[in-house]
Copies of this chain bind each other. A is one copy, B any other.
């Protein structure tokens, strides 16, 4: 006798009925935990497949105390966040956790994005390069564990996982000095995540090499147009022999304007970026850059979020990961003049 077709989405009860067992057993089988015989397991799985059953994550999350759900806030306009999301999905999957996303867009600020997430009862919230005032982040931190990824937030209620931005600039400057450069400029990132640390790293490195007098910081920003503007500034005011740039996007814009103006890179000017994003690896960009360790940053972020969610005592609110210089085609020896 053929079974009645089910019009609504099948529930656990439907599967239980079809397999001739209780819902508790179905639950056990679907979660893949011990407690059911192989035969039952098979029967339940078959029934579930036949009905096209999928567990309802809402009901599941509502019932179970630990949701195994991590909320992530990212910015749609920042392509490096795409890399971080890739890393976070992988890291979460590795420890059997889910990720739920909330985007910041030009029409939807961080506050709105976070508020949406908080209603989802994630165990913790991960913020990519948060731009909100510290007070707001602390407010969230008081409610639920918060990890800021790639931005330093000085507040005891906010965990931080970030790259040692200052070290990144040390590496960049060291590399350029080694190539014989002395007139090295830094195109800075304004108020973006990591910008202050990179500025400081640049200044420190220049001083360490006895190049205080040569140090020069030029206004830039986080995107290509900011880099383009910086390039125009440099072209107007006299070119250095090397430039360290806040990030790859900014470096790309700068490169483009320099090249279009007939400047040879790295012949006339060497350029070093930051992030090692997709952009840096493009064949026609091939940018020497400071690489952030995305897999490690992601793993530590997920681990910390979960540790906090489980109320573990944690040592070191801030985790700072060393970057690594990737030398490509935009940096070379200073031209002998």
Partner of A79, one of B79, B100, B105, B118: B79
Shortest CB–CB separation between residue A274 and chain B, in angstroms?
A: 19
Q: Is the CB–CB distance between A101 and B103 below 8 Å?
A: yes
Q: Which residue of B lies closest to A228 (CB)?
A: B284
Instruction: Decide if B284 touches A224 in the complex (CB within 8 Å).
Output: yes
CB closest residue in chain B, given A90: B107
A142–chain B nearest beta-carbon distance, Å: 8
A228 touches B58 (CB 8 A): no
* Stretch of A34-42, A255-263, A314-322 on the interface side: A255-263
Q: How far is the CB of A10 from chain B (nearest CB, A)?
A: 10
What's the least CB distance linking A8 to chain B, in Å? 10
Known contacts A57-B119, A82-B76, A102-B101; is-contact A228 B282 (Cβ 8 Å)? yes
Q: How far is the CB of A147 from chain B (nearest CB, A)?
A: 18
Answer yes or no: A134 CB below 8 A from chain B CBs.
Answer: no
Contact A278 B56, CB 8 Å, known A228-B283, A260-B259, A284-B260: no
Among residues of B, the one whose C-beta sits closest to the C-beta of A260 is B259
Q: Cβ of B121 and Cβ of A105 under 8 Å apart?
A: no
Copies in the complex: 2
Q: Is A54 an interface residue (CB 8 A)?
A: yes
Contacts of A85 in B (CB 8 A): 76, 103, 105
Q: How far is the CB of A16 from chain B (nearest CB, A)?
A: 19
Chain B CB count within 10 A is highest, among A106, A228, A282, for: A282
In the bound complex, residues from chain B placing their C-beta under 8 Å from that of A58 are: 58-59, 61-62, 120-121
State in angstroms the CA–CA spacing of A100 and B284 once bound together.
37
What separation, in Å, do the CA atoms of A61 and B56 have in the docked complex?
Answer: 11
- A108 and B89 contact, CB distance less than 8 A: yes
Asked if B105 and A86 make an inter-chain contact with CB atoms under 8 angstroms apart, the answer reads: yes
Please indicate which of the listed interface residues A77, A82, A282 has the most CB atoms of chain B within 10 Å of its own CB: A82
Q: Say if the beta carbon of A266 comes within 8 Å of chain B.
A: no
Least CB distance, A26 to chain B, in whole angstroms: 15
**Complex CA–CA separation, A77 to B89 (angstroms):** 14
Residue A210 at the chain B interface, CB threshold 8 Å: no
B-facing mask of A79-106, CB < 8 A → 1, else 0?
Answer: 1011101100110010000101111011
* 5 further interface pairs, Cβ-Cβ under 8 Å (given A54-B118, A77-B82, A85-B105): A54-B115, A57-B121, A58-B59, A224-B279, A257-B284
18 A-B contacts (beta carbon < 8 Å) = A9-B143, A56-B121, A58-B61, A58-B62, A58-B121, A76-B81, A76-B82, A79-B79, A82-B105, A85-B103, A86-B105, A100-B101, A101-B102, A101-B103, A224-B284, A225-B282, A253-B284, A260-B284
